[in-house]
Amino acid sequence: MRKRTAMRMHIAWILALVNLFLVPAFGMTVIEDAEVIIESSGVPGQPVAIKLPFNWDTAQGGMDGKARVLIRFPADDPRAPLGILFSRLGNAYEARLNGVLLGAKGSGNDPHEDYSKQPQFFKVPEGVLQEKNELAILVHAQGGRRAGVSVPVIGPADEVHRQYEEAYRWRVSGFLALSIVSAVLGVIALLLWLRQREPLYVYYGVGEILWAILVSDTLAQRTLLPWPWWGIVVFSAYALAAALISKFSLIFVDRHAGPMKIFGDWHAWLTVPAVAASFLLRMPLLLSVWLGITLLVCIGTALIAVVEGMKSRELEKRVLAVAVIATCIAATRDMLYFRVFPGFGGVPWVRYAWVAFGVTLAWTIAERLRKSAQAIASMNQDLAQRLAEGEAKLAATYAAQAETQRNQAIVEERQRLTRDMHDGLGSQLLGALQLSQNPEVAREVITAHLREALDHLKLTVDAMQDIEGDIASLLGALRYRLSERLDAAGIRLAWSVDPLPAIGGWTLQQSRDLQMILFEAFSNLLAHSGASNASLRAEYLGREHAIRIRLSDDGKGFNPRSQEGPGGHGLANMRSRTARLGAALDIESSPAGTCVNLLLPLPSA
């Protein structure tokens, strides 16, 4: 008995590494020899010696039925408390030791029931144990539901119960936790999908929820649907979850295309029909083949994911590669354990390995959040930079424009000066030159002419200063330039200039125009009026929002409308400059004197 066990154990070790249910602890006995009487279609067969575990599906294919398994074992000390552990027993069962009922679950003819999924522990009641014992187990089997009897572990009640608790933790509590995790992750992923509509999330979400159904099946001793329909649900969930997670992985590594995608699509579409056919037609082999194909899909995906993960510098792809590798190792092991070497009563590893996908997704979401935060930050930076560039460009454009305007202003100013020189100083110098060539003209006349030319030049220089719309200082400067000539002409000038509001946007041309209007008026006063008293009054008129400048004298007057005589040309000049200023010029002249009125409106604020 030991020798054969050793070899089987060896395989089990390789496959399971740690398979608690087959590892005999100190003082434990693992019984493999048994006798089975199979009742198929209500007809009891002959007792047959077998090696445990007894796997109904292996023995009887897809048929329903029941089997009576007899396990005989000795007891060294019949009084020591004894415990018996089956990691798998069912679907329904009734266990008797030496004819005494140890436990029973299920009626045996309800297809909703399956008690085989959880480990079963029996404590042998006192006085039942004898030196030679017979453990009789009646199992009711539903075809394809992995009914049967696992290898019993028999030993001291405390130690066996500890193993039972361990097994329970892995197969019940652990799966409960796993199914909750899967369900939560699935719901989160689906919520994400609702908000973002990324296929990645929907594949993952549905996959996780299917996985949660599969894992929670272990917890349900009464299933929602009767067998075999529940079997179709569970195995379809398994294969579909694998298919969807494969898609998730392919999308994840940007390889959701090509033959692998097509293969995966076909597999996904055909999963439910294939699984259903396997159950309804009672062909367990078809299920095994289909799960093998599922594994191929997974391995194909895994290879792609691993290759991409290794190539990629993105950490989450590497995490996915690790998850895929872990899942594939676990799935391969499970495939070998449950399907190829039909193991019985072990823990499917893949259910634990699966959690790695959850980690991957969580990691991915975290990475995406980080990246999007980073992207936003860099976008902000980029935006700020572009804004700065835009501003710089704008400033450059503005500067260029200002430069153009400045150049234009310079050109205009140059033109203005040229015109001034031509009309004013130029003609005055020319006049002086012509006078000097005439020997009859007195020196004093030429001198006066040249003085006037010099005054004109000084006024031109004054007009070049930006007075910032300060009309009062313009008047002041004019008086300063003319006072000498007024004194020389014996004209007493009464001066009254109020503080005047500055005119915004006042240009040099305007300065020049106003200056020349007044200069012309003073020239007339000096040259033709014969006045001895004059007065200049400048004031701000609030009602008209204008500045009024009034120059009056007590001279002999002239006819302002005459084109001949005093100021003919000068008057026309004054009027054109007045028009350019948008001002109003009014000249009253009578033999009692002349009064020049200039009304300069201020721009409305």
Partner 1 sequence: MHKPIRVAVVEDDARTLSRLCGAIVREPGFVLAESFSCGLPAIAWLRHHPVDILLTDLGLPDTSGIEVIRACVEHQAQCDIMVITMFGDEKNVLTSIESGAMGYILKGIDEMDVGRAMRDLRAGGSPMTPLIARKVLTRARRSDPSAAAQDGGTQAPAVALTNREAEILNLIARGYTYEEVSKLLSVSLSTVQTHIKNTYGKLAVKSRAEAVYEANRMGLLRSRAF
Q: List the one residue from 180, 285, 480, 579 that touches partner 1 (CB under 8 A).
A: 480
Nearest distance from C-beta of residue 379 to partner 1, angstroms = 36
CB-nearer residue toward partner 1: 280 or 410: 410
CB-nearer residue toward partner 1: 161 or 458: 458
AA identity, residue 15:
L
Q: Which residue has the tokens 């590798």?
A: 325
CB-nearer residue toward partner 1: 141 or 482: 482
Nearest distance from C-beta of residue 483 to partner 1, angstroms = 8
DSSP codes of every residue in 83-128: EEEES-EESEEEEEETTEEEEEE--SS-TTB--TTS-EEEEPPTTT
Rounded Cα–Cα distance for residues 501 and 491 (Å) = 29
Nearest distance from C-beta of residue 476 to partner 1, angstroms = 3
Rounded Cα–Cα distance for residues 325 and 419 (Å) = 93
Which of 84, 147, 104, 135 minimizes the C-alpha distance to 345? Answer: 147
Q: Which stretch binds partner 1 (CB under 8 A): 99-107, 203-211, 326-334, 468-476?
A: 468-476
Nearest distance from C-beta of residue 535 to partner 1, angstroms = 13
CB-nearer residue toward partner 1: 402 or 461: 461
Nearest distance from C-beta of residue 468 to partner 1, angstroms = 8
Q: List the one residue from 29, 60, 221, 473 that touches partner 1 (CB under 8 A).
A: 473
Nearest distance from C-beta of residue 495 to partner 1, angstroms = 6
CB-nearer residue toward partner 1: 214 or 600: 600
CB-nearer residue toward partner 1: 188 or 477: 477
Q: Residue 476, Cβ neighbours under 10 Å: how many?
A: 15
Nearest distance from C-beta of residue 462 to partner 1, angstroms = 6
Nearest distance from C-beta of residue 484 to partner 1, angstroms = 9
- Interaction between residue 476 and partner 1 (CB under 8 A): yes
Structure tokens that stand for 181 in this block: 């995790």
Q: Residue 264, Cβ neighbours under 10 Å: how many?
A: 22
Q: List the one residue from 12, 71, 189, 475 that touches partner 1 (CB under 8 A).
A: 475
Nearest distance from C-beta of residue 479 to partner 1, angstroms = 4
CB-nearer residue toward partner 1: 94 or 420: 420
- Interaction between residue 486 and partner 1 (CB under 8 A): no
- Interaction between residue 109 and partner 1 (CB under 8 A): no
Angle at 123 between CA 118 and CA 127, to 5 degrees: 155
Q: Which residue has the tokens 């997974």?
A: 298
Site string for partner 1, 490-529 (x = CB under 8 A): -----x-xxx------------------------------
Rounded Cα–Cα distance for residues 182 and 424 (Å) = 99
Q: Residue 12, Cβ neighbours under 10 Å: how many?
A: 20
Phi, psi of 448 (to 5 degrees): -60, -40
Is-contact 329 302, C-beta < 8 A?
A: no
Longest Cα–Cα distance of the chain, Å, equals 170
Q: Which stretch binds partner 1 (CB under 8 A): 11-19, 216-224, 321-329, 470-478?
A: 470-478
Q: Residue 401, Cβ neighbours under 10 Å: how many?
A: 10
- Interaction between residue 479 and partner 1 (CB under 8 A): yes
Q: List the one residue from 189, 477, 534, 549 that touches partner 1 (CB under 8 A).
A: 477
CB-nearer residue toward partner 1: 306 or 536: 536
Angle at 516 between CA 523 and CA 586, to 5 degrees: 80
Nearest distance from C-beta of residue 481 to partner 1, angstroms = 9
Rounded Cα–Cα distance for residues 151 and 345 (Å) = 8
Q: Which stretch binds partner 1 (CB under 8 A): 177-185, 259-267, 333-341, 474-482?
A: 474-482
CB-nearer residue toward partner 1: 347 or 538: 538
Q: Bridge partners of 550? A: 537, 597
Which three-class secondary structure string do you get for 288-318?
HHHHHHHHHHHHHHHHHHHHHHHHCCCHHHH
Q: List the one residue from 467, 514, 518, 551 that touches partner 1 (CB under 8 A).
A: 467
Nearest distance from C-beta of residue 466 to partner 1, angstroms = 10
CB-nearer residue toward partner 1: 123 or 537: 537
Site string for partner 1, 427-466 (x = CB under 8 A): ------------------------x--x--xx--xx--x-
CB-nearer residue toward partner 1: 257 or 502: 502
CB-nearer residue toward partner 1: 283 or 497: 497
Nearest distance from C-beta of residue 387 to partner 1, angstroms = 24
Structure tokens that stand for 307 in this block: 């290759």
- Strands 65-74 vs 48-51: parallel, antiparallel or unpaired: unpaired
CB-nearer residue toward partner 1: 24 or 426: 426
Site size toward partner 1, by CB under 8 A: 23
Nearest distance from C-beta of residue 470 to partner 1, angstroms = 6
- Interaction between residue 34 and partner 1 (CB under 8 A): no
CB-nearer residue toward partner 1: 86 or 506: 506
Q: List the one residue from 63, 177, 325, 472 that touches partner 1 (CB under 8 A).
A: 472
Nearest distance from C-beta of residue 406 to partner 1, angstroms = 17
Among positions 111-150, residues that touch partner 1 (CB under 8 A) are none
Nearest distance from C-beta of residue 559 to partner 1, angstroms = 30
- Interaction between residue 478 and partner 1 (CB under 8 A): yes
Which three-class secondary structure string do you get for 339-384?
HHCCCCCCCCCHHHHCHHHHHHHHHHHHHHHHHHHHHHHHHHHHHH
Rounded Cα–Cα distance for residues 579 and 556 (Å) = 27
Rounded Cα–Cα distance for residues 36 and 47 (Å) = 5
Q: Residue 587, Cβ neighbours under 10 Å: how many?
A: 19
Which of 335, 338, 91 minimizes the C-alpha distance to 223? Answer: 91
For residue 558, what are the contacts with CB-CB under 8 A and spacing of at least 6? 524, 528, 529, 565, 566, 567, 589, 594
Q: List the one residue from 470, 530, 537, 554 that touches partner 1 (CB under 8 A).
A: 470
DSSP codes of every residue in 408-456: HHHHHHHHHHHHHIIIIIIHHHHHHHHHHH-TTS-HHHHHHHHHHHHHH
Q: Residue numbers of the site for partner 1 (CB under 8 A)?
A: 451, 454, 457-458, 461-462, 465, 467-468, 470, 472-473, 475-480, 483, 495, 497-499
